[in-house]
Chains A and B, each alone.
Chain A
Amino acid sequence: MAASTTAAPARPARRLAGLLQPTVIVYLALVLLLIVGSILVAARGGMLLDQGGILNILTRSTALGLVAIGQTMVILTGKLDLSVAYLIGLCSLIGAETMGGDPGMIVPAVLLTLACAAGVGLVNGLVITKLKVNAFIATLGMALIIRGYLESAYSGPSGDVPRAFQHLGYARIGPIPVSALLMLALAGLAWWYLMRTKGGYHVYAVGGDEEVARFSGIRSDRTIITVHVLCAVAAGLAGLFLASRLGSGAPWVGVDAGYDLESIAAVVLGGTLLAGGRGGVAGTIGGVLILATLDTIFDDLGVTPFFKDVVRGAVLILAVALYARRRGLLR
């Protein structure tokens, strides 16, 4: 319900709530996590934020960050995309196979990969808007279709990424990987798109209330299709990045890391409302960094990987409960 609440008088609670913008909370939490993590790691004689640690956190963030940027846009319109995990695998294969070890093929391969990804996103968007299929089902269906193709066509890694392209995955400036910088640049671009352009305004409008958007003359179908295409392209970039890290394409690279649900988790952790209309890329990047930092801390502490999942699940639920409470205060 968009506009049915009456204004409440300014209360201390409101001021507090205003301070606790989800984006602010996320980065505060990140800083806190870094401090606590550093202390814990230091207590075991290690150092969290040394060159290796920073590198580790940022590298982990890159692929998830790419996917999550796209996922943010989709979720802002009130939809979601469950097909990204398989799409990542598919794109890593398309990229690596097209390159076939030939540096001259890098550019065509990248273009082809992104075009294929965009095609998948386009189909997702069309199925959702024209066939009026719930986004959950539409993208789940797409995920199954891609999986079917991957299962029948591949049994393992395939393709060959030339060294030049592998540099993309490993090159760094000081402790900071170039790929992470590229990811952050993309995040900046997405932020600009959402906050400054007409298309971005319409993303929030469609997520806020699709009816209202339509009545105001916004072609909501177009907006929804656009975000799905953008999300798929972002997943394509993640696929290319992973291919450059692995040296080849791998069908299950996206699924094994659970990038579908993981990216949704990162977006929601970053304070974007699952129902759409509220949130943004800045929060998402915070969410991604938190997840990556958690992983790195656990690695440094030598905790078993299974414990990570437990903490992750708990953090996710707690964070969203906190945001829900905050919204309650504002009501």
Chain B
Amino acid sequence: MTETSTVERKPRRIRLADGTGPVLAVLAVLLIALAFVGPAYSEPAGYLALLKRAAPLMILAIGQYFVIVSGGFDLSVGSLVTAQVVIAARLIDGEEGATLWVIPLLLVTGALVGLVNGLITTRLLVPSFIVTLGMLLVLDGAVFLWTGGSPRGALSEAFRVVGREGFEVPLLGSVPWSVLLLAALVVAAVLFMRGGTGRTLVAIGDNDKSVRLGGGRVENLRTLAFVLSGISAAIAAILLGGFAGVSAQVGEGLEFRVITAVVLGGVVLGGGRGSVVAAMAGALTLEALFSLLNLLGVAGGLESAVQGVIIIAAVAYASVGRIPFRTRRST
């Protein structure tokens, strides 16, 4: 052996997790382009508004990231968001006092749905794609069964504060509450992913057997990922309900949009690869793109076409050129 025994010589520097670079570059380009195209983006308020719009998707992206990086899918989040908003409206029905107990109830419901997803996936060994697809159908049906076809009731003012209002900060102007909430969640998610549990979650997506033999509770951690995804859907629902109001379409297509965002951030479907920051950057990129297209006067229809092209291009860019690596499929 001619190798020398050096372990670590380089000074430590801040390192971008793999796959983060491209999405941040694209995001930067988009943000700069926004400044040129839209007069609103000449000051912080414009970007804060963008963040406010993007917050629900970014929060969903955090939850979806946990599930994808540990090797699963969560297709139920879109329906879950709709369900949550509809439930909130029905329960609150314009009554301010109800807000206090409805919000925790939503969080618990979200966690419960995630728990069921996780338990069926890990204990009954059903692929998560199918489990969450089934959950999507169940939620869709159940909510409308309960409301009788169309959403009833109304949200309280207090409920809508987080999604709609802001607070004054010198220099920045009005900072939306949702942005503050988002910032808090970002910090929490980053800390979580740096900690032992987060790293173990990624390792599960890579090789769950090694984690099991290493003493990890694979089933519990996978279930935890689904629970976190469910909770993120609840939070997103609270923001969306406040922001956009009650409708039966509020969560429509969100599951695919959030998976798009996460994948755009360089997170690999099948697990084991990608960072949570990049997943959120993917979500923000998507929203920034929509804003830009809007400003450029591109018709609504093209918006989704562009989304389609971009997601394919992003993944193609990431996978072509990467050294092919032999992996055996795991069901």
Interface residues of chain A, those whose CB is within 8 Å of chain B, are 1, 78, 82, 127, 131-134, 136-138, 140-145, 147-153, 209-211, 261, 264-265, 268, 273-275, 304, 306-314, 316-317, 320-321, 324-325, 328
Contacts and interface: CB of A to CB of B under 8 A. Distances in A.
A82, A127, A143, A309 pick with most chain B CB within 10 angstroms = A309
Nearest 7 pairs between A and B by C-beta?
A148-B305, A152-B301, A309-B141, A144-B308, A151-B301, A313-B137, A313-B138
Contact of B127 (A210, A265, A308, A320): A320
A204 to B, nearest CB: 14
Contacts of B40: none
Interface stretch (B57-65, B153-161, B215-223, B256-264): B256-264
Interface residues of B, number: 50
B311 A152 contact: no
12 contacts: A82-B256, A133-B312, A138-B315, A140-B259, A142-B308, A144-B307, A148-B302, A152-B301, A153-B301, A313-B141, A317-B130, A321-B125
A82 B304 CA distance: 15
Q: Is the interface of A mostly helix, strand, loop or mixed?
A: helix
B145 A145 contact: no
Interface string B121-143: 00011110111011111111111
B120 interface: yes
Interface of B: 75, 120, 124-127, 129-131, 133-145, 149, 256, 259-260, 263, 269-270, 299-309, 311-312, 315-316, 319-320, 326, 328-329, 331
A215 B193 CA distance: 39
Contacts of A311: 141
Given A304-B145, A317-B131, A140 B308 contact: yes
Contacts of B299: 151-152
Contact of B309 (A141, A143, A324): A141
A328 B329 contact: no
B136, B141, B312, B331 pick with most chain A CB within 10 angstroms = B312
Contacts of B315: 131, 133-134, 137-138
A313 B139 CA distance: 9
B305 A149 contact: yes
A291 to B, nearest CB: 11
Given A141-B312, A211-B326, A148 B144 contact: no
B329 A209 contact: yes
Contact of A324 (B124, B140, B305, B307): B124
B318 to A, nearest CB: 9
A328 B269 CA distance: 25
Nearest to A261: B133
